[in-house]
Chains A and B, each alone.
Chain A
Amino acid sequence: DAGVTQSPTHLIKTRGQQVTLRCSPISGHKSVSWYQQVLGQGPQFIFQYYEKEERGRGNFPDRFSARQFPNYSSELNVNALLLGDSALYLCASSFPAGGSYEQYFGPGTRLTVT
């Protein structure tokens, strides 16, 4: 069974540019969440989408936006990139069941902003 897939694997952008990251959840999973993991730290929650609706948003500026498509795949957009946006961006999918919130992560997209 295919796990969560993310593209691209690596990305190098310049300050001020815009970037779009993509995620395909595990088949049957309807919820997708995005996390940012800066080197040496644990992942930080950015967004959660369920059935194409935003269900949660972390403490990130409005430069960060996301959406979920009818096939449950998702995109994360970041505008006006800053050096501090350099991080591993993780997508996780889940099938809410009993409130355990088990999430399954993709390999991530490594974004470097120069």
Chain B
Amino acid sequence: TQLLEQSPQFLSIQEGENLTVYCNSSSVFSSLQWYRQEPGEGPVLLVTVVTGGEVKKLKRLTFQFGDARKDSSLHITAAQPGDTGLYLCAGAPVQGAQKLVFGQGTRLTINP
């Protein structure tokens, strides 16, 4: 069974601080997605990383895929209250059903 472990599960910081969320597994994934989910809504795709070592930037968010394609990180610079939400990483297995394996999520709160 492929698992993705996210850490931390909860994070509460002040506006303007930087933070990093980690997503780790012992399994290799063909790609990894990061989603953000608001209460009562479905996850919204932020980014997909496919190549080991790949780095993608989305404004103040930086996403990295590990060289071995087993882990990923999300770094937010100068966090803002609008960044508050549940961040989910999800991996696509190398073989098998076209499904996503999700981490348990990181609930991020940015305090003004």
Contacts and interface: CB of A to CB of B under 8 A. Distances in A.
Interface residues of B, number: 27
B88 A102 contact: no
Contact of A31 (B4, B30, B98, B103): B98
Nearest to A99: B30
Contacts of B31: 99-101
A106 B88 contact: no
Interface in A35-74: 35, 40-45, 48, 50, 55-58
18 contacts: A33-B100, A42-B6, A42-B105, A43-B90, A45-B101, A50-B98, A56-B96, A56-B98, A92-B42, A92-B100, A99-B31, A99-B92, A100-B30, A102-B45, A103-B33, A103-B45, A106-B42, A107-B41
Interface of A: 4, 31, 33, 35, 40-45, 48, 50, 55-58, 90, 92, 94, 96, 98-108, 110
